[in-house]
Structure 1
Amino acid sequence: MRLATALADYLTDKSFVAVICHREPDPDCLASAVAFGTIAHWCGAETVEYFDGTRISRPQNLALIAHLDVNLRPVSELTPAEPDVLALVDHAVPGVHDGLTRDTQVDVILDHHEHDRPVTADFVDVRPEYGATATLFVEYLRELGVPVSARLASALLFALHRERLDQVRHPTRHDYLAAAAMLPLSDPATIDHLYRAGMKPTTIDAIATAIRNRRTVGSCLVSWVGPIPDREALPQTAEYLLNLQSVDTVLALGVVDDEVHLSARTVDQRVNLATVLPSVIGTAGSGGGHRDMAGGVIPAARLDTSARDGGDAAPPAVDDLGSRFCTTVERAKSAGVVAEPGPPVQVVDTAVEARSDGSNALPDAVSAGVSDDAVSPRGTPSDVHQ
């Protein structure tokens, strides 16, 4: 049985479906969440509700939410035991940047991020070899024959562009095929409107500060932007600084509330930021992402961000962190090994016996690191860690 069919079978007869986005959901997360909701409705769900960690500030993301006409409710309003299906889309670990508790039992996980440990649910489809979660959902929609509206097609196409196709992030053949499938169904005027959402003035200010505070070690650039009202300025800052001549890897850092946020980008195939950034952060915080883009968070209490002489230059502790980052990046380059895209897809489904014959069926022993606890019913303890 193919994965799309297995998911449809799992969703059949489920009345209330809750879709959980990660905090500050980007276009890939938002479009994928609504695609999942569309499939759930097609399978007979009466109610599909969407939840997130409530921090949304980037104009393009807000414009996409308005376009999709989706009501994103705070996760704090959800009682996890209420839905028939609790799904994570574009992320895979409950309690990490999503407002859930770490012991939340999840039913469905659909994601494309690389994870350093097993993730558990009744149905899991994690494909790090795909450039976007939206790509996965385009395949599901097409395989199941679910009607795709111009609104959803436009959102998925925009998500594919923003997540991969517009960036030097090595889009895969899967991503191009997904975009080609959505193009004739989408509305060009909607895509143009979403692109024109633009930058907030506070993002421009953050970029200006980052330009002043940039420090380069070889082809690695680190910059401190100081206190900012929201973290969305950081990935935009990192992407902007990556345009600097002779720079191939960037780390931007800033303080949001009581947390130090980090955003990293690279165009060097020898550098795998999904492992580099977490190793630099260590036990002080958390981090992860893709080979070419990653993010992290450190509680401010664990990193002294006191300004030097009252100015906006990077504090010594931040300088030390930046130096460790550049050193780790240079070691990765010296090793001379091109970073691989990640492990193969990990899939678990209690309704279908898994296989390992290379087909599109569920893999046999789920031996890609998912424990037997993954198929435990809701309420049964299972080992879920970050």
Structure 2
Amino acid sequence: MTKLDELISILTKEHVYIQMHNYPDQDALASAYGLQALLEIKGIKSTICYNGQIDKFNTLKMIELLHIDIYNNKEFSMEAEDEIILVDGQMGNVNMVNFIGRKVACIDHHPKQEVLEYRFYDIRSQIGACASLIAEYFVENKIEISMEIATALSYGIKMDTANLSRRASDLDIDMFCFLYKKADKDILFGFDNCSLRKNDLIAYQEAISNLKLYGRVGIARIGDDCSEAIIGSISDFLLTVSEVDFTLVYSYRVGGLKFSVRSESKTVDAGKVIKEALSGFGDGGGHATMAAGFLPNLNTKQEIDEMAHLIEQRVIEMVIKS
């Protein structure tokens, strides 16, 4: 049996939910969109859903131009017996809310969490993009892929691997080559030309003004209420500074501090660093090269400043020791 055959065999409902993480990015959206098409071919209807918000402009353009139907948790009602397939995230991750339905399957490329609840899982942390796993399902099952799905999946791979330069495995490269030939090049080009809005430039200005260097560690607080997407983008941006190979970028939002971490050091695991740094106060995790975390329940300026300083010091100490 192929992975797709295994997945289909464990589903008992004619309709399932495909759940993305709380702030869906291009890879999560592409993976859910591709999986929805595969399920449809096998006679299973599905609803793509998430909790939180989509706050990156080019992700919104994907939804618009590729006509992807997705639903926030406020827009549908789920029952306890409904079946959920998780994509690009797992239960136990800080950015995956626990919906009421049964989490029967998981397709992901992040480090493996607890998997006992799933009837099926395909979790390969050595792969750079979840979209590559979905693309492989099309290939190994000899299923024709539409231009729209190919466009979405190739863009998901492109973005999560930073143009195949970050954590790109042989599978990512092979699947991107396969998909790119079938994708709409004009739409892909259009996505790249709408990644920033004018207000985002203020956050970049804050990052440049507030950047602090500790050895090869770059840390920047970029103001309040910055989107998940822009925090991650600035973390990537600061990693291009020649003196930096580890970045910590954060913003105060939704009652807490949101952190984004990047590492180019072979001895420093970004996911482990942020998880340990937030231990006892919040939660975090991710890949060795890119990770995120959240520290909740901060209400006063003094609390925010004190906790920000503590997390900075914990990160600096761990990175310097590594």
TM exceeds 0.5?
A: yes
Matching residue within 52, 55, 58 for 2:53:
55
Q: Structure 1 pair 104/54, CA: closer, same or farther in 2 (3 Å)?
A: same
Instruction: Find the counterpart in structure 1 of residue 109 from structure 2.
Output: 112
Q: Structure 1 residue 289 and structure 2 residue 279: aligned?
A: no
Instruction: Find the counterpart in structure 1 of residue 29 from structure 2.
Output: 30
Instruction: Find the counterpart in structure 2 of residue 340 from structure 1.
Output: none
Instruction: Find the counterpart in structure 1 of residue 69 from structure 2.
Output: 71
1-structure distance, mates of 2:255, 2:286: 22
Of the two, which has the highest radius of gyration?
1
Equivalent residues in 2 for 1:119-130, closer than 5 Å: 120-130=117-127
Equivalent residues in 2 for 1:327-366, closer than 5 Å: 327-332=317-322
Deviations 1:334-366 (A, max 9, x none): xxxxxxxxxxxxxxxxxxxxxxxxxxxxxxxxx
2-structure distance, mates of 1:290, 1:104: 27
Q: TM-score by structure 2 length?
A: 0.93
Deviations 1:255-291 (A, max 9, x none): 1121210001111121111111100110211101111
Per-residue deviation, 1:37: 0.6
2-structure distance, mates of 1:32, 1:143: 16
Stretches of 4+ moved more than 6 A in 1?
A: none
Deviations 1:284-323 (A, max 9, x none): 111011110000000142x86439xxxxxx9343123112
* Higher RCO by CA contacts (8 Å cutoff, separation 6 or greater): 1
Q: Structure 1 pair 116/95, CA: closer, same or farther in 2 (3 Å)?
A: closer
Structure 1 portions without partners, runs of 5+: 308-313, 333-386
172-181 vs 114-123, which moves further: 114-123
The aligned amino acid for 1:159 is: G
Matching residue within 137, 141, 160 for 2:138:
141
The aligned amino acid for 1:327 is: E
Instruction: Find the counterpart in structure 2 of residue 380 from structure 1.
Output: none
Instruction: Find the counterpart in structure 2 of residue 44 from structure 1.
Output: 43
> Do 1:135 and 1:175's aligned partners in 2 also have CA atoms closer than 8 Å?
yes
27-36 vs 87-96, which moves further: 87-96
1-structure distance, mates of 2:249, 2:321: 20
Secondary structure of the residue aligned to 2:275 is: helix
Q: TM-score by structure 1 length?
A: 0.78
Instruction: Find the counterpart in structure 1 of residue 3 from structure 2.
Output: 3
Equivalent residues in 2 for 1:215-294, closer than 5 Å: 215-294=212-291
The aligned amino acid for 1:317 is: M
Structure 2 portions without partners, runs of 5+: none
Give aligned pairs, total.
321
> Do 2:81 and 2:102's aligned partners in 1 also have CA atoms closer than 8 Å?
no
Instruction: Find the counterpart in structure 2 of residue 150 from structure 1.
Output: 147
> Do 1:32 and 1:89's aligned partners in 2 also have CA atoms closer than 8 Å?
yes
Per-residue deviation, 1:42: 0.8
Deviations 1:199-223 (A, max 9, x none): 1223211111111111111000111
2-structure distance, mates of 1:23, 1:194: 21
Instruction: Find the counterpart in structure 1 of residue 302 from structure 2.
Output: 306
Secondary structure of the residue aligned to 1:108 is: strand
Instruction: Find the counterpart in structure 2 of residue 21 from structure 1.
Output: 20
2-structure distance, mates of 1:321, 1:187: 44
Deviations 1:55-109 (A, max 9, x none): 11111111111123122212242314353x31111111068434434x7530111
Per-residue deviation, 1:186: 0.7
1-structure distance, mates of 2:80, 2:259: 34
The aligned amino acid for 1:177 is: D
Q: Structure 1 pair 80/123, CA: closer, same or farther in 2 (3 Å)?
A: farther
Instruction: Find the counterpart in structure 2 of residue 345 from structure 1.
Output: none
CA RMSD, 1 decimal: 2.1
Secondary structure of the residue aligned to 1:91 is: coil
The aligned amino acid for 1:289 is: G
1-structure distance, mates of 2:164, 2:198: 23
The aligned amino acid for 2:10 is: Y
Instruction: Find the counterpart in structure 2 of residue 89 from structure 1.
Output: 87
